[in-house]
Chains A and B, each alone.
Chain A
Amino acid sequence: MFHKSKAALAAFAASTILATSAFASELVINFDDLNPGPKKGFEDAVEAFKAANPDINVTVNINDREAHKTAIRNFLSADPPDVTSWYPGNRMGPFVDAGLFEPIDDLWAAEGLDKDMAAIQPTMTRNGKIWGVPYSYYQWGIYYRKDIFDKLGLDEPTTWDGLLSACGTLRDAGVTPFTIGTKFLWTAAGVFDYINLRTNGYEVHNDLTAGKIKYTDPRIVKTMENWAQMIDECGFVENHTSMSWQDAIAPFANGDAAMYVMGNFSVDGYKNAGLTNDQIDYFQFPEITPGIPMAEEAPADAFFIPSGAKNKDEARKFLAFIAQPEIQSKWNETIGQLPPNSRATVSDDKFIQEGFAVVSNAAGLAQFYDRDAPAEMAKAGMEGFQKFMVDTSTMMEVLEELDRVQAEVYK
């Protein structure tokens, strides 16, 4: 009864507001990035959508990324928009399982996205259905100071031994090989993911984050041993536990550290710190176990339709619109990332070009530890990685604790 009267009231309110534009339909979009670049990319796409669909009255709510992560839990059930941005992989799991997102297999089929976005389809899929349309993704890898490498006569390493020997040369020259800031934990997970992907491959990454293998499994122990070797023979900057990823750019920009395992969004940070395109470059994380196909970290950002959306037809129109190659090309040109649509064109920025080459040949695309693993597992895992980085002798203690959490989370 209450709901009915509320709906009637809403309808009445809506009708008074819409009295002037009686035939227009509505579309409400919640987006989650206030940073100038991503915001502009999104707003340009919305403008293009408006121009193509003048009869749709688009309302946009842009929120801060962290605030969005909390708000989405409320608005999905209380006051769902028609379209919302969110992350694929396990991060969409709770909402999919609670029936708060709308499956859009038909839209993928109708727009031919199963062909154009085939590479990313697995991460958009859960329980056999497809739940969203990605608009952007970006590569991870090792960003390094090209000027320092040149000065020391180093080449981009392609093997683990190559990396370790490059580290030796850097250390002899008084340069700390790697910078990192683990205050907010996830940066450590990036390093873990890569060492694990290179030591054991994509399947093991997926099985681990899906809870199918234990952390004390010999394969994961091997990963941690490789990591311990990297910490001993390469080494990270001191005091990384009290630095954010942005703070960690400082030693990199000053020339005290030479490499950074990071995502492509960080390039902006290097340039803001005064580095030029000539001083920095990118290489793919080198091979560890020979013969294992190279999978990459390439987290995607996507749009979803809440199952409580009021204007689902318009929402589908919008998702189909932003899946188009032209829109994705322009959007990702603006934000300096990669378009998931394989028919889209890639910006000629050197990092984007190199990254595109890397992910195009990848044996698989991982979403990142904290998106592939359930949230509670990810939190415990990343704290464990941080602890391990501070003191590698805690390795087995950390792994056993993670086994305990794993048993609890995946029951």
Chain B
Amino acid sequence: MAYADPPSRKSWIARNRLSIAPWLFLSPALIFFAIYVVIPIFQSLSISLYEWNGLSDAVYVGFRNYVDLWDDPKFWISLKNNVIWLVLYMLAVPLGLAVALFLNQTVPGMRFYKSMFFFPFVISQVVVGLIFGWFYNPDFGIVGAIWKSIYCEEVINIVGNVSVRCSRTPPDILGDPRFATYGIIFAGLWPQVAYCMILYLTGLNNVSSEQIEAGRLDGAKGWRMLRHVVLPQLWPATFLAVVVTVIGALRSFDMIAIMTQGGPFGSTNVLSYYMFETALSEYGFRYGYGSAIATVLFFIMLIFISFFLWQMYKEERRG
């Protein structure tokens, strides 16, 4: 007989059930998001105004950490490397598309080939870094081996052991400041291309065959077909691929930590690794300075993230 009760007898919860329910379900996520994401962001912003080694008392220094950053050549090297990462990592998008188009055929065993191409994304970045580190090794890596077969000859050294003598020394990709960053990015592209490929493969499944058919009747083929008929339909996949690639480039850390530790002499540092180095590594523990780097990185990411969010917002309003 509850429905017969006058409204005034209903409890507050019962009256507001509809508006409370979503918040109730959202609250666990909101609480954890606040504790682990939102609050630390503000903590980090405030620590960046202090000089603190984690042991002694923190000293308020205003914006001095940022002034120091401005004068720090290693910061600029890191920032420059971040830009190089961003630009070159973008290659993963067209490369992923190319591989996806190539694999989008009906050939016996195609699933197997697809999974082989996807494989690098499944293995951890740390493993990818290690493997490429070996590839690049001038002494026993594949790069060194090929080089030696061209430019080097085997000789017997003074104690009678086999040694190699080269007319040109093999390139030490990770040990040479000119090549090291590109070497790491190349290694990073391998799994990233696979990721973009899988995004495009799922996108290609949804390309309407009627439109392809219609385009074909109108005489479109090859490049024009791709450009005007297929690509527009792949827009959601492209958008996603660009987003994950930008974020992947900005948070590149594991590869650098594994392959060079930022070396040789800091030439492969990026902001995230430089932050770790100053704030948390053996020679660091300048929490304030590290937080200042983190803040800069945060604002760079914020530019991209707001752009992406704005794009998505526009999409939704149109849709």
Tell me which residues across on chain B come within 8 A of A242, comparing CB atoms.
Answer: 136-138, 172, 174-175, 264
Interface residues of A in 71-100 (CB under 8 A from B): 73, 76-77, 94-95, 97-98, 100
For B167-211 the 0/1 string (1 means CB < 8 A from A) is: 001101011110000000000000000000000000000000000
Interface residues of A in 239-271 (CB under 8 A from B): 239-243, 250, 254-256
A250 touches B265 (CB 8 A): no
Tell me which residues across on chain B come within 8 A of A98, comparing CB atoms.
Answer: 55-56
B55 touches A185 (CB 8 A): no
How many angstroms from the CA of A70 to the CA of B54 in the assembled complex? 12
A376 touches B283 (CB 8 A): yes
A254-B157, A387-B265 given. 7 additional CB < 8 A pairs? A77-B55, A98-B56, A185-B263, A241-B175, A241-B263, A375-B282, A375-B284
B111 to A: closest C-beta gap in Å? 39
* Residue B53 interfacial (CB < 8 Å): yes
Residue of A nearest to B264 (CB): A241
* Residue B285 interfacial (CB < 8 Å): yes
Interface centre among B53, B155, B158, B282 (most CB of A within 10 A): B158
How many angstroms from the CA of A336 to the CA of B159 in the assembled complex? 28
* Residue B286 interfacial (CB < 8 Å): yes
* Residue A105 interfacial (CB < 8 Å): no
B158 touches A238 (CB 8 A): no
B118 to A: closest C-beta gap in Å? 30
B144 to A: closest C-beta gap in Å? 9
B174 touches A255 (CB 8 A): no
* Residue A4 interfacial (CB < 8 Å): no
* Residue B248 interfacial (CB < 8 Å): no
How many angstroms from the CA of A408 to the CA of B51 in the assembled complex? 12
Residue of B nearest to A170 (CB): B158
A379 is contacted by which of B158, B161, B283 (Cβ under 8 Å)?
A: B283
How many angstroms from the CA of A376 to the CA of B288 in the assembled complex? 14
How many angstroms from the CA of A250 to the CA of B157 in the assembled complex? 14
Interface centre among B53, B54, B71, B283 (most CB of A within 10 A): B283
B284 touches A95 (CB 8 A): no
Tell me which residues across on chain B come within 8 A of A256, comparing CB atoms.
Answer: 157, 161, 163
B172 touches A386 (CB 8 A): no
Residue of A nearest to B136 (CB): A242
A239 is contacted by which of B68, B139, B277 (Cβ under 8 Å)?
A: B139
Tell me which residues across on chain B come within 8 A of A148, comparing CB atoms.
Answer: 158-159
B175 touches A383 (CB 8 A): no
A386 touches B282 (CB 8 A): no
Residue of A nearest to B51 (CB): A411
For B61-93 the 0/1 string (1 means CB < 8 A from A) is: 000000010010100000000000000000000
Tell me which residues across on chain A come within 8 A of B277, comparing CB atoms.
Answer: 379
* Residue A174 interfacial (CB < 8 Å): yes
* Residue B312 interfacial (CB < 8 Å): no
Residue of B nearest to A182 (CB): B264
For A134-150 the 0/1 string (1 means CB < 8 A from B) is: 00000000000101100
Tell me which residues across on chain A come within 8 A of B158, comparing CB atoms.
Answer: 148, 151-152, 173-175, 255
Tell me which residues across on chain B come within 8 A of A239, comparing CB atoms.
Answer: 138-139, 169-170, 172, 175
* Residue B261 interfacial (CB < 8 Å): yes
B169 touches A100 (CB 8 A): no
A250 touches B139 (CB 8 A): yes
* Residue B266 interfacial (CB < 8 Å): yes
B68 touches A408 (CB 8 A): yes
* Residue B35 interfacial (CB < 8 Å): no
Q: Which 5 A-B pairs have the closest CB atoms?
A: A242-B175, A379-B283, A255-B159, A241-B175, A98-B55
* Residue B280 interfacial (CB < 8 Å): yes
Interface centre among A100, A239, A379 (most CB of B within 10 A): A239
Residue of A nearest to B259 (CB): A242
A121 to B: closest C-beta gap in Å? 25
A241 touches B176 (CB 8 A): yes
Tell me which residues across on chain A come within 8 A of B175, comparing CB atoms.
Answer: 183, 239-243
For A353-378 the 0/1 string (1 means CB < 8 A from B) is: 00000000000000000100001101
* Residue A184 interfacial (CB < 8 Å): yes
Interface residues of B in 277-311 (CB under 8 A from A): 277-278, 280, 282-286
A161 to B: closest C-beta gap in Å? 23
Given contacts A255-B157, A378-B283, contact A94 B55 (CB under 8 A): yes
A370 touches B157 (CB 8 A): no
Tell me which residues across on chain B come within 8 A of A145, comparing CB atoms.
Answer: 159
A333 to B: closest C-beta gap in Å? 30
Tell me which residues across on chain B come within 8 A of A70, comparing CB atoms.
Answer: 280, 282
* Residue A66 interfacial (CB < 8 Å): yes
A174 touches B56 (CB 8 A): no
B173 to A: closest C-beta gap in Å? 8
B163 touches A255 (CB 8 A): yes
Interface centre among A97, A100, A241, A242 (most CB of B within 10 A): A242
Tell me which residues across on chain B come within 8 A of A390, comparing CB atoms.
Answer: 177, 264-265
Residue of B nearest to A184 (CB): B261
How many angstroms from the CA of A157 to the CA of B101 in the assembled complex? 67
B266 touches A383 (CB 8 A): yes
B56 is contacted by which of A97, A147, A379 (Cβ under 8 Å)?
A: A97
B265 touches A384 (CB 8 A): yes
Q: What are 30 contact pairs spanning A and B, CB under 8 A?
A: A66-B282, A73-B285, A94-B53, A94-B55, A94-B285, A97-B55, A97-B56, A100-B55, A145-B159, A152-B158, A183-B261, A184-B261, A238-B138, A238-B169, A238-B172, A241-B263, A242-B138, A243-B175, A254-B159, A255-B158, A255-B163, A256-B157, A256-B163, A375-B282, A375-B284, A379-B283, A384-B265, A386-B263, A390-B265, A401-B73
Interface centre among B55, B165, B277 (most CB of A within 10 A): B55
Given contacts A98-B55, A151-B158, A174-B158, contact A376 B284 (CB under 8 A): yes
How many angstroms from the CA of A238 to the CA of B164 in the assembled complex? 13
B157 touches A174 (CB 8 A): yes
A44 to B: closest C-beta gap in Å? 29
